[in-house]
Structure 1
């Protein structure tokens, strides 16, 4: 489905709303990132978004940083669907979009789950971690290859058997339908100065071996958001929700119910 022919989304389930925001990797879509997790969240209304420029959502012409523009458009989706307030779950780029919404519209965010979010870079970047380097190289290629996609997907998981041929094919075919090119690296925007504005209880989930948004980058976010906690999963890289789905589903379900924060406060 689409809202105003601008943002595509999937709306499934009933209950308190959860908005799911995917990463910026080539071939990414909302359902490719989170479709396997949704059965564990059947007691929620799940809004799974294709962020502008990915999946079935066209890339709008804008001079704003991508994170800032996408956050405005996701808020417009929520308004169009009659959702005043929701939990936000985002990985990588989608985590940055979720943070931006929480900064600018705190009244619209209940709880915030961020998996290795972007938007907050250390002072010494670049050089880029190998995962980001491969991502940008794929985006910049005149004619990206399936072999390059296979290399990228294998970097996203610690257990490379999870980088199945069907997954590589799916992501590669989706990447060929990409929207107009972005400058490399893209102008995502910097969220660092406004981290203190995130008032929502926030759960950071990170793969210990992440080679795209390294665990070392977590400290600035953890220190900047007043009500943030961190869970680190070993033997896991960037796609936490895919590679460690059972643990991810359990941790996030508990947090959305108030368990993690309630335990901390008790």
Structure 2
């Protein structure tokens, strides 16, 4: 069941489950994205943690307040406010794509609030030669710019997110398409996400990067900047996998992340 928490200039929608060491789950920015769509099938494997799955501002059931801040900066501050309101002093952060950028920003601005970071092909760190954009990002921006996007455009986008095309089911396409029509972000294209590159050395949290080898949205060639920029980062690359690692390689992802969050080393 979705609840909301006051974050000062609006509310943030979230779901909560489990009990134990807190984990905050931060979704990507793709059309139709919500906390549930990104992590609904993942969180049950972490029932021994207190799981907070948020809808970031402007996605899902969370309204987007007017702001000139870069999206990552704005969302990170609202997640921190939500953590405070929910009585969470410190949590592990798991972020996919845009949500990975939000997690990194939190780790930069409030390091004492972060346990460990799990980042799946995180956003917020672009190479100097972009654009041109990878094909997945190009389709994402085209979809967001459309006045009335089509289901066909959503189907093409979803198929770019997974290596195994059998996972791009009609049910998933329909779910994402209907969600995108309910909360179609009004953003400049490309959106102003914010550049975290200069801040990477400030991240003190132990960090796990998880990447799909065939990612066409945030390609693996973008990983070294983050891997070498964060002082305590390690990288796991999963073959035959694109951008939605937690969906496409769920059992392996769950095992890797559980080990990382509970390892005392």
SS in structure 2 of the partner of residue 176 of structure 1 = helix
Q: In structure 2, what is the equivalent of residue 204 of structure 1?
A: 209
Please give the alpha-carbon distance, in whole angstroms, between the structure 1 residues aligned to 2:217 and 2:238: 15
How far 1:221 moved relative to its partner?
0.1
Equivalent residue in structure 2 for 1:215, among 220, 223, 226: 220
1:149 and 2:151 matched: no
Q: In structure 2, what is the equivalent of residue 14 of structure 1?
A: 19
**TM-score normalised by structure 2 residue count:** 0.97
Q: In structure 2, what is the equivalent of residue 88 of structure 1?
A: 93
Q: CA 1:163 to 1:180, structure 2 compared with 1: closer, same or farther past 3 Å?
A: closer
Q: In structure 1, what is the equivalent of residue 231 of structure 2?
A: 226
Please give the alpha-carbon distance, in whole angstroms, between the structure 1 residues aligned to 2:94 and 2:147: 33
Runs of 4+ in 1 over 2 A off after TM superposition: none
Please give the alpha-carbon distance, in whole angstroms, between the structure 1 residues aligned to 2:185 and 2:107: 28
Unpaired runs of 5+ residues, structure 2, are none
Q: Is the 8 A contact 1:116 1:204 kept in 2?
A: yes
SS in structure 1 of the partner of residue 25 of structure 2 = strand
Q: CA 1:94 to 1:180, structure 2 compared with 1: closer, same or farther past 3 Å?
A: closer
| Paired residue total | 260
1:99 and 2:104 matched: yes
Q: Is the 8 A contact 1:22 1:51 kept in 2?
A: yes
Equivalent residue in structure 2 for 1:3, among 5, 17, 23: 5
Please give the alpha-carbon distance, in whole angstroms, between the structure 1 residues aligned to 2:21 and 2:70: 30
Please give the alpha-carbon distance, in whole angstroms, between the structure 2 residues aligned to 1:6 and 1:184: 25
How far 1:200 moved relative to its partner?
0.2
Equivalent residue in structure 2 for 1:167, among 172, 180, 192: 172
Please give the alpha-carbon distance, in whole angstroms, between the structure 1 residues aligned to 2:133 and 2:115: 33
Q: Is the 8 A contact 1:99 1:198 kept in 2?
A: yes
CA RMSD in angstroms comes to 0.7
Please give the alpha-carbon distance, in whole angstroms, between the structure 1 residues aligned to 2:130 and 2:75: 23
Please give the alpha-carbon distance, in whole angstroms, between the structure 2 residues aligned to 1:63 and 1:211: 29
Q: Is the 8 A contact 1:162 1:243 kept in 2?
A: yes
